[in-house]
A = this chain, B = another copy of it.
Amino acid sequence: MILSLDLGSEVPIYLQIRDRIVEAIASGELVEGGSLPSTRQLAVDLGINFHTVNKAYDLLRREGLLRINRKSGALVQRDPSTGPPEPGFTDEWETRLRTLLAEAVAHGVGDPAVLDSCASVLASFTPTALVAHGADHGAKQGDSAS
């Protein structure tokens, strides 16, 4: 759970923390039931105010990725294997995806290049070891639409 922040970035610190944790869950680095450092501990490690960590954890809780209780601290509530997303998640997410992809296309990134980026990002979440027996859910290729 090494979590590198960029102080002085445009992105608020609490969001950077949240983003890194989301990515850690996506990549399997954090699995359902796993525990995260206490807010105080992480704050000390990162050299930031613990309120900032708190805010990140709370955001993740509201997103359904963490559960938090007094005794055991923050635990991962969800991971890729937990099941399909809550209803309503996908629509809202696709809206954001649409805007993000539009941005690349508008700037002149070709459709294939965009898809390649998506595929390679996905591949980076499943570092080969997990693609064990059938590999039927890996970052498959060739279904490009254009």
Copies in the complex: 4
Contact of A90 among B8, B105, B109, B144 (CB under 8 A): B109
Contact of A118 among B69, B90, B115, B129 (CB under 8 A): B115
Q: A99-123, CB under 8 A of B: which get 1 and which 0? A: 1111111111111111111111111
Q: Check A143/B96 contact, CB under 8 A, given A101-B122, A118-B115, A121-B101.
A: no
Interface size on A, residues (CB 8 A): 65
Contact across chains for B111 and A122 when beta carbons are under 8 A apart? yes
Residue in B closest to A76 when the chains form the complex, CB atoms: B106
| Chain B contacts for A139, CB-based, 8 A | 105, 110-111, 115
What CA separation (Å) do A8 and B75 show in the bound complex? 13
Q: Check A26/B144 contact, CB under 8 A, given A96-B100, A97-B100.
A: no
Question: Could you give 7 example pairs across A and B, Cβ below 8 Å?
Answer: A23-B98, A25-B102, A81-B108, A100-B100, A102-B125, A111-B138, A113-B143
